[in-house]
Structure 1
Amino acid sequence: MRYLGSCIGMILVIQFTVWATSAQAEVFEEGVHYQELPGERSDTAQIIEFFSLYCGSCYQYQPFTAMIKDKWPGILTQQHVSSLTPSGFERSVQEAWAAARLLEVEQSFAERVFDLNFVQRRQVADQEQIYQVFNSLGIERERVEQILSSFQVRSLVRQMQLQEERFGVRGTPTFIVNQKYMMDYRGFRDSEDFFADYLALAEYLLNK
């Protein structure tokens, strides 16, 4: 699973780094705090998060994701990557995530799967468990099967895969701002309040 190293690295930054000073005066440098990507900037403000429900860092980043949603409602799109998933189950998980988005239960779905994977240690690793997760959210199997077989789900999965390739995503979570800037957690090793500083970076890039 090619994402594992980057995922673990981000956990270490959050858990084990000795924080020294916050990002000084919110001065952010290209190549240090973010990477500029080729191509045009999006016309509208947006943040794309590439994540996996099987990534420990993504689980720990949930408060940061919530901060984005609270500060800028409707600006965040979460795309599930095609790897860091039980072998042979990659597309099924992407389809399940697409279905959760279409059913407007993505936050509850993510919370439930994260809890099973990282709190209860009962990894969701087959289709039957996916149906059970949806059922726990009050959505019957028949409705889930209908959504999973829809053109909308196929389109969303294709979009996830194309964007993952376009932005050269190699680790999770990865945050892309305005389709032009990739946020880089490595520039915040000396931060006293990582999530607050990372949010300030997102705001800087949204306005750049």
Structure 2
Amino acid sequence: MKKIIFFIILIYSCKVNSETFIEGKHYIKLPHRIKNATTITEYFSFNCRYCYQLKKELNLYSNLNNNVKINSYHLEFFKNKQEKILTHMWSIAKLIHAEKKIILPIFEFVNKKKNEINFKTIKKIFIKKTKISNKEYDKLWKSYSVLNAISENKKQKKKVYLSYVPQIIINGKYLILTESLNTDSIKNFILEYTNIIKYLIKK
């Protein structure tokens, strides 16, 4: 019985690995390659419930090789004070490499209590999850490195002409067309999404 199950898994794995993704249908090649881009450049918004669901289910950090570098940008579509606070906080998280610790807690808070997003509430969650001090957070908030990161964050939307999130660009030149992927179920979508990411990394 075990041999049969293994054989079925092997056939299925071969099918997944041999899956062909078509340029223009599943992804497009950007007219200009993004200079100095990491292997994966991810664009999201804490206000996007699809980004939240994808982050919970896909978990790029665990599904890919540890050598794959990911750079995530928080985009502001509404350009309000709340989004600016979230971008500022995310820039601090990236600077101290705390992305994994705070992204889901912040997503959960934003999606449940949108009206309570302010400097104090976000700071409280950040400190609780990262264990940094109140003084250190305030220092980072005003630091040149964080302000410079925020400036770069603002340029990203114009640089790649993004009109919606979530979006992922591979190797600075391939933009995945998420609307083309299998949406019959979240499981199928995540499987296909993971496979196209791996496919484009090797391309």
Q: Which bin holds the TM-score, normalised by the shorter protein?
A: 0.7 to 0.9
Partner of 1:203, secondary structure, is: helix
Q: Distance in 2 between matches of 1:44 and 1:89?
A: 28
Task: Identify which of 92, 96, 100 aligns with 2:89.
Answer: 96
Shift of 1:42: 5.8
Match of 2:135 in 1: 142
Letter in 1 for 2:21: F
Alignment of 1:186-205 (within 5 A): 186-189=179-182, 193-205=188-200
The residue aligned with 1:207 is: 202
Shift in CA distance, 102/24, structure 1 to aligned 2, threshold 3 Å: closer
Structure 1 residue 61: deviation in Å? 0.6
State the TM-score, normalized to the length of structure 2. 0.80
Give the equivalent residue in structure 2 for 1:115. 108
1:97-135 Cα deviation digits (max 9, x unpaired): 0011122222221111112123xx223521111211122
| Higher helix content, 1 or 2 | 2
- C-alpha displacement of 1:72: 2.6
Over 3 Å counting, the alpha-carbon distance change for 1:44 and 1:80 in structure 2 is closer
Counterpart-to-counterpart distance in 2, 1:55 and 1:32: 24
Instruction: Measure how far apart 1:142 and its partner are.
Output: 1.3
Q: Deviations over 1:112-161 (max 9, x none)?
A: 1112123xx22352111121112222222211110010111011112222
Q: Which residue of 2 aligns with 1:19?
A: none
Identity %: 21
Q: Residue 61 of structure 1: which of 50, 54, 67 is its match? A: 54
Kindly state the Cα deviation for residue 189 of structure 1 after the two structures are TM-superposed: 3.4
1:181 to 168, 174, 179: 174
Structure 1 segments unaligned to the other structure (5+ residues): 1-21
Partner deviation per Cα, 1:155-207 (whole Å, 9 max, x = no partner): 11122222221111111111011111110112113666211111111112112
Q: Deviations over 1:43-100 (max 9, x none)?
A: 7761111001111011101145424544132421111002257x32332221110011
1:36 alignment partner AA: K
Distance in 1 between residues matched to 2:32 and 2:145, nearest whole Å? 27
Match of 1:81 among 62, 67, 75: 75
**Structure 1: which amino acid aligns with 2:22?**
E
CA contact (8 A) 2:88 2:150 kept: yes
Aligned residues: 184
TM alignment of 1:6-85, pairs within 5 A: 25-40=18-33, 46-63=39-56, 65-73=58-66, 74-84=68-78
Return closer, same or farther for 1:41/1:145 CA change in 2, 3 Å cut-off.
Answer: closer
Q: CA-atom RMSD, angstroms?
A: 2.5
Q: What are structure 2's unaligned runs of at least 5 residues?
A: 1-14
